[in-house]
Amino acid sequence: MAHQDHTIAIFAPHLTLTVTIETGRDDGPDDIHIHPGGQGFWVARMLRHLKEKPLLCGPVGGESGGVLRSLISQWGIELSPFEVQKSSPAIVQDRRSGDRASIAEAPAPGLSRHELDDAYGRILDHALSSEVVVITGQRSEIVPVDTYRRLGHDLASADVPVVGDLHGNELEAFLEGGHLDLLKISDEDLIEDGRLEGEDEDMALDQLHRLQESGAKRVVISRGPRPALALIEGATYRVTGPDLEPADYRGAGDSMTAGLAAALRRGLGAEELLRLGSGAGAANVTRHGLGSASDDLIPRLAERVVIEALTPLPR
């Protein structure tokens, strides 16, 4: 099947089937929700709300993979799967207490050499026919970390604009091979990587410059409920989204990544790019579904994003 109508290709090594149990309304029976999950899917879902045409490229196999295929198509997202023999990962969660508690989880299997070759050729093919490529990470090593280095090199050689939502070894490997046109990274990831301590804004601003020096042309650091920080074309920005009561914070960072990718594809300037990214992230927290939003709400929230230009730190 040809995939030629997409605008943004997404490398999603971790596609997951999620089953969530929630308390029913009015003391009724429990609700059970079955959805696709994983960072790449959540980015693709928000891109659909932004009227983009995402193409999701990731491993699919077994019984859970068959369900994933059907569900992803129902969301109107085009999937170009690379076939794997073992089953796709799946997780069962209980939210009846208000928090997510994992009941059971089938982990993601690593790819065989032949499956990896197919996966690499497929994402590279789709990337070359896309206006923008989004590279997402993996919760466990489904593909070798060196795959990210190869992608960095080959996408840079092909001059394909790349948005990365990466950290740790995967980010370092990708930048060793090439560069990122835009990196979205969270302060939680920076803390996990040992690059940041706590919520100190000056340290986060310093990391903007360090990440740019490593090969990320534009850098956005999401910081949960606190203002995001960005370094774009030599200028630093503090980005404050609308003050909303969150239904669920989870997925806001992936939604921001989708907004930034859409803005990059549209050639928007720095402030409009940050508005769309922040607006998409803010729209996500108003709902329980990750990567979801009301289509009309995103531009309205984007208009209410406050952007402050900051004096760049001395280098």
Domain end: 180, 205, 239, which one? 180
What's the CA gap between 230 and 88, in Å, rounded?
Answer: 35
Residues 193 and 150 in one domain: no
Q: Is the pTM of this model over 0.85?
A: yes
Domain end: 165, 180, 195, which one? 180
What's the CA gap between 57 and 41, in Å, rounded?
Answer: 9
Residues 55 and 191 in one domain: no
State both tokens at 18.
């999620």
- Residue 94: its pLDDT value, please? 92
| The total number of structural domains that make up the chain | 2
**Domain range enclosing 159:** 1-180
What is the per-residue pLDDT across 150-181, written as a single tens digit (0 to 9) for each?
999 999 999 999 999 999 999 999 999 999 99
Give the other-Cβ count within 10 Å of 21's Cβ: 16
Q: Model confidence at 28, in pLDDT bands (50, 70, 90)?
A: confident
Domain end: 128, 153, 180, which one? 180
- Give yes or no for a contact between 152 and 124, defined as CB atoms under 8 angstroms apart: no
What is the per-residue pLDDT across 228-283, written as a single tens digit (0 to 9) for each?
999 999 999 999 988 755 445 455 789 999 999 999 999 999 999 999 999 998 88
Residues 248 and 106 in one domain: no
CATH of the domain at 203: 3.40.1190.20
State both tokens at 303.
């208009």
pLDDT at 2 over 60: no
Residues 144 and 243 in one domain: no
